[in-house]
Structure formats: C-alpha cells, structure tokens
C-alpha cells in the first residue's frame, strides 16, 4: 500500500465520529454520550489513552463487572 493511500485511509478513519455511551450497573452515566474516548476514560477513572473502552465497546461484556460500553444508546435500560 502506498503512503498516499495509507494516509487517506487513516484520515477517513479518524474523521468518523463515534459516541461512547457508558452504563454503570445498567444505569446510564451522567454526561453520556462522550464524544471523545479521553473524556470517557477520565470519567471512569482510567488513564486518558487506556485501551479498555475500544476493547470492550459493543461486546456486551462488562468491564470489572460494572461498566458496559456502547456505541449507540441502548433503549433496553
């Protein structure tokens, strides 16, 4: 893959906006949705560049049996 093509793909990937909805014990956290992963990490006490949210988002697995991460608002709660 050429550098130009790689750069274009990376730019498109970073331009997509993704909301992060966080549920604590099945209750939506205040200030959700978060528009940046850094703010979501800070809200739950993680370092700003932690990989927890990308690893758990939309997996329906709770992190530390407490937090559930979604990219869309879940209407079931």
What is the average per-residue pLDDT within 3-9?
76
SS3 string, 28-50, reads ECCCCCECCHHHHHHHCCCCCCC
Query: pLDDT tens-digit profile of 40-69?
Result: 999 999 999 999 999 999 999 999 999 999
| Under 8 Å between Cβ of 33 and 20 | yes
The C-alpha atoms of residue 20 and residue 70 are separated, in whole angstroms, by 6
> For residue 48, which of 63, 38, 35, 36 has the smallest C-alpha distance?
38
Could you give the 3-state DSSP secondary structure of residue 23?
strand
Whole-model pTM: value is: 0.73
**Mean pLDDT of the chain, nearest integer:** 86
What is the average per-residue pLDDT within 8-33?
80
């Amino acid at each position: 893959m050429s550098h130009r093509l790689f750069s274009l793909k990376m730019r498109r990937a970073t331009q997509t906006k993704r909301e992060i909805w966080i549920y604590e014990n099945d209750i939506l956290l205040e200030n959700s949705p978060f528009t940046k992963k850094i703010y979501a990490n800070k809200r739950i006490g993680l370092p700003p560049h932690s990989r927890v949210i990308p690893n758990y988002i939309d997996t329906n697995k709770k992190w530390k049996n407490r937090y559930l991460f979604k990219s869309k608002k879940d209407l079931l709660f």
